[in-house]
Structures are given as structure tokens and as C-alpha cells.
Amino acid sequence: MKSIALRRLTAALVLLLLAGCETASDQPPRTQVQGATVVGSTTPLTPPLPSYRPPDRPADGVPTGTRSRIVRGTETFMAEAPPAAAPTPGGDVSLNFTNAEVRDVAKAVLGDILGLTYAVDPAAEGQITIETARPISRDQVLSTFEVSLQAARLGLVREGNLYTVVPVGDAQRQTGLVGAGQAGFGTEAIALRYVSADELKKLLDPLIPTGAIVQTDPARNILFISGSSTDRRNLRDLAGQFDVDWLRGVSFALIVPQWTNSRNLVEQLTQLLNAEGVPTAGTVRFVPIQQVNGILAISTRAAYLDRVRSLVEMLDREAQGSRRRLFVYRVQNGRAADLAKVLTSAFGGESGKPSSSTPPPAGLANAGGQDIATPGAAVEDGSLPAPPAMPTIEGQSATGTSMTLDLGEAEEPIKITADETTNTIVVYAKPQQYEIIADALRRLDILPLQVMIESAVTEVTLNEELRYGVQWFFSTGNSSFSLSEIATGAVSQVFPGFSYLLTNGDTIAAVLNALSGITNINVVSAPKLLVLNNQTATLQVGDEVPIATQSAVSTDNPDAPIVNSIEYRNTGVILKITPRVNDNGVVLLDIAQEVSNVVETTTSDLDSPTIQQRRIASSVAVQDGQTIALGGLITENRQDGNSGIPVLKDIPFLGPLFGTTERKRDRTELLILLTPG
């Protein structure tokens, strides 16, 4: 019964405190509620989510931390003692008996002075002494006589109008319920309002006078007091002093830590404040409230609860740094998946493998730049050390990549998930660990540079003047053509868009115009590409040509058809450029250029074309605005033909008499010009 009542009491207190926590008010947080003072924070039950807004600052709106509400009691646990009886005016009765027989004193007091009907039990024998220092009133005579009987282990029992002097043992058996203040031996029933009858009896047991009896009725919470009128009055007054509203006097505090489990804190607080031998032992009781991850502290002194709250806040703040939480970083300039892979690689990890998984909740997808804290989870202390072990990858979902950084057995793993749908990175780590990760993210998540690349892919026909190639022709310093003497001017319409300078200050257009004056130039492609730093741009102009890679025929069935395996090959102009810009303005270019043509196969009987290709792959460094030239790939085409009188020109030995034989050789050089800007 007591445990059930205690649980109900605890539940009622929690509901009362929570109601106070959820009540909105424009008044200051200190109010009077039914005689008790309520002091506490008006912090909402759901704290705002801290935000990381790169690159300027790591966090905004830090959570408010520990929340608490204190109900201060009156600290009154005993009623005031009844005021001392005012001195009665002098009476007209003086009692002076010394070692007188009980029968004689009973006759004098009960019969002669008070005029009451009385009897003396034959077993009531003994001598009593009564001496009054001054005359007393007639109202005090009966109680004085009753006190003197107790010294002789006798009692006075009233039945109707008859007063009987009997031994104390008989008086206890003959007693019945009497009213308060009634003279004689009797039993009073006191209905207690606030305290438990059993608990109060335990308190009164050492104080019960000889001959008095105290019993309880727990079901109705009634205290029965048996004894003389004087004993009953004393015990009744004492019970009244303890029968006070204990709940109104005691103080309660509901403290809700944000980062620490309440059950763990209760154990620690109990060891600190209630350990054996500690002066504060028993002054504060702690009850964990798991529903709200709260601590219910109960004390007879409100000042203790203030100290307990400060202690919990201090412990909770220290635990904040050791608890893993969810942080959401909204990527501003890069790709979340790429940054997540970089972070994992920084710890020695590998990229994740695809696996089927459900997308993240919509609420999490909208929590950009925020961390999501779940109060109440106890976590071991720790910080982010150098990774002693290789991280492991847990998996990759349809919308993101999930990675786990396993820092060894002594550390809990850091989990990093890239949500490609919202371009965010979700990190499950301790705050100190996330600070390191967030700092790296802010340095990596920067606005990338862009590089404008103008290019020209040309084929230069090599004639007699260029028989050793274009590059050799320029390097010889031929007096008929000097780059330094070419005047700048309008760009030729044959090569539209060329307006950038060579490293020596001359324009590409001027050089190409000069070359066109001595030979034929064919511009295969002249693209203009805008590329992000460290990204690859691809330009492809051409066709996909089917090529037979394998033929198969059944050897069992001669009528079976021939089965060919076909794959498609990209042809034409294919340009791939990856720029990298350093802090000095130097542009590093990774270039892969291919020019391919489709010709008829002459080396085999396969019904498949031959791909003629010229390919350049290089990595170069150039200043911003300068032009580089890549060339030297020379192709030679030979063609033999004859003309003359039909039929006669094909006669062996005599054919040359009726026709002529032509042999033509064409040599071209692939020249690539690139200007990053």
C-alpha cells in the first residue's frame, strides 16, 4: 500500500511540475501557486537545433542546456505548540493530603468537594499525596486528583455519572471512546489529515507515558489514544503538532538534463550527497523520471535544491562534450558525396559500396546546417584522436553514401552520411569530433574557380616549306616569317573567335593567317569551354561507328548463320581537359585530344571499318591568358591512280602507252592550340 501511494504521489508531482513547465505566461518566471513559490526557467521543452553555417561560423542557436522547475515549500513540518494555559485566577479549594488512603481522598475530593457519585474498587488500594501551593479552582480539582492516582498506579473510570477508582490494568480494559477533555481514563480517536497513522505511532512510541496506549487503524488513518485525561491531552497535542501538510512544507525540483541520462545522474548524486557519513545524507532524495529523462529531487530545504540544480547543470555541461549527436552540414559549393569521401579518405577509409536503403526522413532532409540532439543518452567520455584503425564503410543508399569511421575499440565510431537529394552531410559524432570535421568541411566547401578555355584543333598541310613540320619551321627562325614582326589586327574570319595572345605576345589568329599564306589549314574544331577547377570537360564531335569484334558460326549446322559481336566506337574530335589553378595564377592542364577518321578496311576480310586516329595526352602548366601549342603528329596519305583510254590502259605491258599513272602523297600535321583564361 505504501509503495503504491508513493508511486501515485510521485506521478502527481511530476504532472504538476510538467504542467508548470508547459504553461506559457508573460509574467516573470517567479509566481505564487497555492502558498508555494515556483521558480524556474521558461525554456521550451524542445530546444532549438544548433546550426552550423559555413564558412563564417560553426554554430548558431546553441541549445539552452539543462531545464529545471522548483516548487518551494513552506519548510514547516510541525504545527506550533498549543499556547501555555493562561494562569487561572486563584480558587477557593486547597488540597493537602500526605500519604492518605485512596478511599479517604476519593471521599473528600469526589464526594465532599465536587459532589460527584463515585465508587472505589476493592482492589484499589494505596496511599496518595496531594499538596497545592495555593488554592485552585473547582475545575482543576478533578484533573489534579487523577494525576495523583497515576502515581499509585490507579485510574479513574467514568461510566455515565459514576466515577470509579480502579487499578490501572482494569481501567485500560474498561475504557471506551470518550470526547476530548473528558475526565477519567478513556480512549480518544484522532483522525489524521496529512501524516500516516503508522508513521506517527512510530514517532510517538518513545513518548507514550506509562499506562497509556496508542494504536492505529491504517485503513482509515486513525490514531487511538488510551489513558488518563492528562495523558490523552498531551498525546493529542503532540499528534496535532506532527499532523501537518508535509507536501506543502517540502520542496520539489524537476531537473531535466539535456545530454546525460537521468538514471546515471541519480546514481552519481546519491553517491555524492547521500553516502554514509556525509553530513547531507538523507536531506535530499532523488527519483529518476524516465518518461522525460528527468530527476525529481525532494528536500525539506529549498536551498539544497538550488545547489543540486547547479550541480546537475555542471555535470550535464561536462557530459555535452562526450555525447554523440547528429549534426547536419549543408554543403554550399561542392557535392556532399564527394566531400564525404574526402573525409573518409582523410581517416584512411575507402568509398562506400551501393546498397539498397530507404531515404532519410523528410524532417531530417530539411534540417540543413543543424545538429539534432537527443537528450538522455549516456555516452562515454572521449575526443577525436588520430585514427588508429582503418575506417569501415557501412553502405550507400539510393540518395546518399553512409560511411563509418571506426577509430578503434576505445572509441565509438563516427558515422558520416552524404544525402545527395538535399546535398547535405549528416555526421553522428561527439561535439569535439564534429568541430574538427566541420572545420575541414568549411575549408573544403569553398566556391570553386572556373577556367575559360579556348581551343583550336587544326590540320596543317605540310608542303615543301613545312616539310619538317610546323614546330620545326617556327623554331628555325625563318627570315621569311617572324612572329615578332606580325602586326596585330583583326582576326581572320577563317578562324573566328581567336583573340588571345601567344606567350611571345602575338595572336593565334595572326600565326594561323601567316600559316595559311604558305599552306592549307583545316580547322577541325574550335570549341570554347567553361570548366570548374579540378573538373573534366569533354567535347566530342563525331559518330559512333559499329565495329565487329568477334564472329562465330556453328560447326554442327552448316546452314547456321554467322553471329557477329558488335561494339560502338566513338570517332571524330574528342577533347578532354581538366584544369587546376594554383594560388599564383598558374593553370595546370591535363589534356587528352583525339582526332579519328573512319576508312575502309584493307588489312582483313572483316566487314568492319578501320579507325585512323591521332591522339595527344599531356599535362602542361601555363600562365593565365597564355597560349600553348601541341603538335607534331604527322599523318601521310598515299594515293595511286591511272587515267587513259579505257580497257587499253589496263593491258599488261602496253597499258602505259595508252594512259598515265598518278601517285599522290599528302602529309598533314595535327596542331592543337589552347588558351586558358
Q: How many domains does the chain have?
A: 2
Identify the band that residue 376 occupies on the pLDDT scale cut at 50, 70 and 90. Answer: very low
Could you say which of 247, 278, 293 is where a domain stops? 247
Give yes or no for residue 216 having a pLDDT over 80.
yes
Give yes or no for residue 358 having a pLDDT over 80.
no
Give yes or no for residue 507 having a pLDDT over 60.
no
Could you say which of 247, 268, 288 is where a domain stops? 247
In a domain, 111, yes or no: yes
Q: Which residue has the cell 600565326?
A: 511
In a domain, 644, yes or no: yes
Model pLDDT for residues 442-483, shown as the tens digit of each residue: 999 988 888 888 887 888 888 877 777 776 766 665 533 333
Distance separating the N- and C-terminal Cα atoms of the chain: 87
Of the candidates 393, 375, 283, 284, the residue with the CA atom closest to the CA atom of residue 325: 375
Minimum mean pLDDT range among 321-335, 398-412, 519-533, 646-660: 398-412
In a domain, 402, yes or no: no
Domain of residue 240, residue span: 96-247
Of the candidates 629, 677, 626, the residue with the CA atom closest to the CA atom of residue 451: 677
Helix, strand, coil percent values for the chain (each to nearest 5): 25, 35, 40
CB 301 within 8 A of CB 283: yes
In a domain, 41, yes or no: no
Q: Identify the pLDDT of residue 425.
A: 94
Model pLDDT for residues 146-188, shown as the tens digit of each residue: 888 877 788 888 887 888 888 877 776 766 677 776 777 778 8
Q: Identify the pLDDT of residue 622.
A: 83
DSSP per-residue letters across 530-590: EEETT--EEEEES-EEEEEEEEE--SS-TTPPPEEEEEEEE-EEEEEEEEEE-TTSEEEEE
Minimum mean pLDDT range among 300-314, 323-337, 629-643: 629-643
Residue 399 phi, psi dihedral angles, 5° rounding: -115, 0
CB 196 within 8 A of CB 243: no
- pTM, entire model: 0.44
What's the rounded Cα separation, in Å, for the pair 372 and 365? Answer: 12
Model pLDDT for residues 258-272, shown as the tens digit of each residue: 878 888 889 888 888
What's the rounded Cα separation, in Å, for the pair 141 and 355? Answer: 100
Give the total residue count for the chain. 677
Model pLDDT for residues 120-139, shown as the tens digit of each residue: 888 888 888 888 878 888 87
Average pLDDT over residues 344-361: 53
In a domain, 379, yes or no: no
Look up residue 461 and give its three cell numbers: 598541310
Give yes or no for residue 412 having a pLDDT over 80.
no
191-203 burial code (b ≥16 CB/10 A, e <16): ebeebbbeebbee
Identify the band that residue 7 occupies on the pLDDT scale cut at 50, 70 and 90. Answer: low
CATH number reported for the structural domain that contains residue 163 in this entry: 3.55.50.30
Three-state secondary-structure class, residue 340 = helix
In a domain, 641, yes or no: yes
What's the rounded Cα separation, in Å, for the pair 456 and 624? Answer: 17
Give yes or no for residue 57 having a pLDDT over 60.
no
Minimum mean pLDDT range among 393-397, 413-417, 642-646: 393-397
Give yes or no for residue 652 having a pLDDT over 80.
no
**Residue 227 has what DSSP assignment?**
E
Q: How many alpha carbons lie under 13 Å from residue 256 in its C-beta half-sphere?
A: 23
Could you say which of 222, 247, 272 is where a domain stops? 247
In a domain, 643, yes or no: yes
Of the candidates 546, 589, 543, the residue with the CA atom closest to the CA atom of residue 567: 546
Q: Identify the pLDDT of residue 241.
A: 83
Of the candidates 300, 370, 291, the residue with the CA atom closest to the CA atom of residue 330: 370
Identify the band that residue 82 occupies on the pLDDT scale cut at 50, 70 and 90. Answer: low
Q: Identify the pLDDT of residue 422.
A: 93
Would you state the torsion angle of the CA atoms of residues 375, 378, 383, 387, taken in this order, to the nearest 10 degrees? -110
Look up residue 172 and give its three cell numbers: 485500560
In a domain, 186, yes or no: yes
Average pLDDT across the chain, whole number: 72
